[in-house]
Structure 1
Amino acid sequence: MELKDVDLNLLVVFEQLLRQGTVSGAAKAMNLSQPAVSNALARLRALLGDQLFVRSSKGMLPTPLALELAKPISFALESLQATLSQKRSFDPEHSARAFRVAMTDIGEVHFIPPLMGALGQRAPGVTLSTVRNTAVDLAADMSQGKIDLAVGHLPELGSGFFQRRLFRQRYVCLFRPGHALDKKKISMRDFEAAEHVVVTAAGTGHARNDEILAEAGVNRRVRLRVPHFVALADIIATTDLVATVTWTFAERCARYFGLKYVSHPFALPEIQINLFWHARYHHDPANQWLRNQFVELFAD
Structure 2
Amino acid sequence: MAARGANDGDDHAERSPELLHYRAFEAIYRLGTLTAAAAHLRLSQPALSKSLALLRRYYGDELFLRGKLGMKPTARARQLYVAIADMLRIADGELRAQPDFDPASSHRVLRISCSEVGAIHFMPRLIARVGQIAPGLRFEVVPLMSRHTESALASGEVDLALGAYTDFGPGVLSQPMYEVPYVCLVRQDHPRIRETLDLATFCREQHIVASLPDRMHAFSRVEQAIVDVAGAAAITVRVHSLLIAPYVVAQSDHIFTATRHVAQRVAVIPGLRIVDCPLPLPPILVRQYWHSAQGGDPAIAWLRAQIESLFLGDLRS
Normalising by structure 2, report the TM-score.
0.62
Q: Which has the larger radius of gyration?
A: 1
Q: Which residue of structure 1 aligns with residue 131 of structure 2?
A: 120
Counterpart secondary structure, 2:145: helix
Counterpart secondary structure, 2:152: helix
Aligned in 2, Cα 1:179/1:215: closer, same or farther, shift over 3 Å? closer
Residue in structure 2 matching 1:191, options 197, 202, 224: 202
Residue in structure 2 matching 1:144, options 148, 151, 155: 155
Distance 2:278 2:233 in 1: 13
Normalising by structure 1, report the TM-score.
0.66
Residue in structure 1 matching 2:280, options 256, 267, 270: 267
Residue in structure 1 matching 2:98, options 81, 87, 92: 87
1:36-185 maps to which residues of 2 (within 5 A)?
A: 87-134=98-145, 137-180=148-191, 182-185=193-196
1:200-239 maps to which residues of 2 (within 5 A)?
A: 200-203=211-214, 204-218=217-231, 221-239=234-252
Instruction: Work out whether 1:276 is the aligned partner of 2:289.
Output: yes
Residue 294 of structure 1 aligns with an amino acid whose one-letter code is: I
Report if aligned partners of 1:192, 1:220 keep a CA contact under 8 Å in 2: no
What are the superposed Cα offsets for residues 227-247 of structure 1, whole Å, 9 maximum, x if unpaired? 111223333223332200001
Q: Which residue of structure 2 aligns with residue 250 of structure 1?
A: 263
User: For structure 2, which runs of at least 5 residues remain unmatched after alignment?
Assistant: 1-93
Residue 125 of structure 1 aligns with an amino acid whose one-letter code is: G
Which structure shows the higher helix fraction?
A: 1
Aligned in 2, Cα 1:195/1:132: closer, same or farther, shift over 3 Å? same
What are the superposed Cα offsets for residues 132-168 of structure 1, whole Å, 9 maximum, x if unpaired? 2328722112111111011112233230121100111
Distance 1:107 1:115 in 2: 12
Question: Which stretch of the first structure deviates more once superposed, 185-194 or 165-174?
Answer: 185-194
The alignment covers a number of residue pairs equal to 218
Residue 152 of structure 1 aligns with an amino acid whose one-letter code is: G
Distance 1:120 1:181 in 2: 47
Q: Which residue of structure 2 aligns with residue 18 of structure 1?
A: none
Q: Which runs of 4+ in 1 moved over 6 A?
A: none
Distance 1:210 1:95 in 2: 44
Superposed displacement of residue 281, structure 1 = 1.9
Distance 1:182 1:121 in 2: 46
Residue 267 of structure 1 aligns with an amino acid whose one-letter code is: P
Aligned in 2, Cα 1:181/1:202: closer, same or farther, shift over 3 Å? farther
Superposed displacement of residue 202, structure 1 = 2.6
Distance 1:266 1:100 in 2: 35
